[in-house]
Amino acid sequence: MRFTTRLTIGYSLAIILTCSWNLTAIAQDSPGAAAFQRLDKNQDGKITRDEAPSADSFAAADADKNGAVTPEEFRRYLAARQRPQSANPTPATSATTSMPTPAPVDGKPVLKSLPDSDAVRDAAGTGQLFECVHVPGLTDIRKGVNGFAIADMNRDGRPDFIVTVSPPVSLPGVAGATTGNVDRVSRRTAVDQLLVLINEGGFRFRKHRIEIRDSKLTPEDFDSRAQVPNLADFNGDGFLDIFITRHSPVSAGQNRGNLPLLGNTFLVSDGAWDRFVDVSAKMGTRNERAYNRQSSIGDVNGDGWLDIAIGCDNIGNAMGGLPHSRLYIFKPNGAKFEDGQFEDLGGSERIPDFGGFYHDSAKDKAGPNLALRDVDGDGDLDLLQSCHIDLREPLLPYSPGEYRQGVFCWKNLVRENGETRFEKVTANGFAVEARLKYDRKKQVYVPQGKAPGLPYLFFADVNNDGLQDALATGPSDMSWSPRCEDVGGRYWNNLGGFRFEERTEAAGLAALNWSYRQWLEYFAQATSERHRQWRPLTGTKSQPGVASQHPLENRPYYSDGIFGDFDNNGWLDLVVLDRRENPYLQTRAMLWMNRGDGSFEVKPTEFSGLDSGGISGEASDLNGDGLLDLFIAADPDNTGVALDIARYDSKVYWNTGEHGGKENHWLHLTFTGIEDAELVGARIELTANGRKQYRWIHSNHTYKSCGALDAHFGLGKATSADVKVTLPNGKTKTFAGIAADKTHQLTLETP
Cα 506 to Cα 187: distance, rounded to the nearest angstrom: 45
Query: What one-character DSSP code corresponds to residue 716?
Result: E
Q: What is the mean pLDDT of the chain?
A: 86
Res. 106: pLDDT tops 80:
no
Whether the per-residue pLDDT at 463 is higher than 60: the answer is yes
More confident residue, 397 or 342: 342
Report how far residue 681's alpha carbon sits from residue 696's, in angstroms, rounded to the nearest whole number. Answer: 6
For residue 562, which amino acid is it? I
Q: ∠490-708-242 over CA atoms, to 5°?
A: 105
CA dihedral 271, 273, 278, 283 (to 10 degrees): 90
pLDDT band per the 50, 70, 90 thresholds, residue 189: confident
Predicted pLDDT of residue 28: 33
Instruction: Please give the angle made by the CA atoms of 32, 36 and 41, to the nearest 5 degrees.
Output: 160
Question: 246-299: per-residue pLDDT in tens?
Answer: 988 876 667 767 788 899 999 999 999 999 999 999 999 999 988 899 999 999
Identify any residues that bridge with 631 across adjacent strands, giving them in sequence order. 618, 652
CA 111, 116, 122, 124 torsion-angle sign: positive
pLDDT band at 396 (very low <50, low <70, confident <90, very high): low
pLDDT digits over 307-344, tens only? Answer: 999 999 877 654 445 678 999 999 999 999 999 999 99
- C-alpha 141/C-alpha 643 separation (Å) is 17
Q: Please give the share of the chain, as a percent, with pLDDT higher than 70.
A: 84
Query: Would you place residue 351 in the very low, low, confident or very high pLDDT band (cuts 50, 70, 90)?
Result: very high
Give 185's pLDDT tier (boundaries 50, 70, 90).
confident
pLDDT score for 339: 96
Residue type (1 letter), 518: Q
**Residues 6 or more apart in contact with residue 396 via CB below 8 angstroms:** 252, 253, 316, 317
* Sheet architecture: strand order including 4-7: 4-7, 742-747, 665-672, 711-716
Quick: pLDDT tens for 8-60.
Answer: 333 232 333 333 333 333 233 333 565 576 577 778 888 887 776 455 567 77
More confident call, 635 vs 297: 297
Using CB atoms within 10 Å of the CB of residue 181, give its burial: 0 to 12 exposed, 13 to 18 middle, 19+ buried: exposed
Give CA separation, 656 vs 101, 105, 567, 588, in Å: 19, 14, 10, 19
Residue 317 pLDDT: 54
Q: Between vectors from CA 443 to CA 441 and to CA 447, what angle results, nearest 5°?
A: 105
What DSSP string runs through 185-222?
Answer: EETTT---EEEEEEE-STT-EEEEE-EEESSS--SS--
Q: What's the pLDDT score for residue 88?
A: 33
Residues 356-361: what's their mean pLDDT?
A: 68
Specify whether the CB–CB gap between 577 and 600 falls below 8 A. Answer: no
The predicted model gives 395-416 an average pLDDT of 84
Q: What was the pLDDT predicted at 216?
A: 96
Q: Are strands 742-747 and 691-696 parallel, antiparallel or unpaired?
A: unpaired
How confident is the model at residue 608, as a pLDDT? 97
Distance of CA 578 to the CA centre of its chain: 17
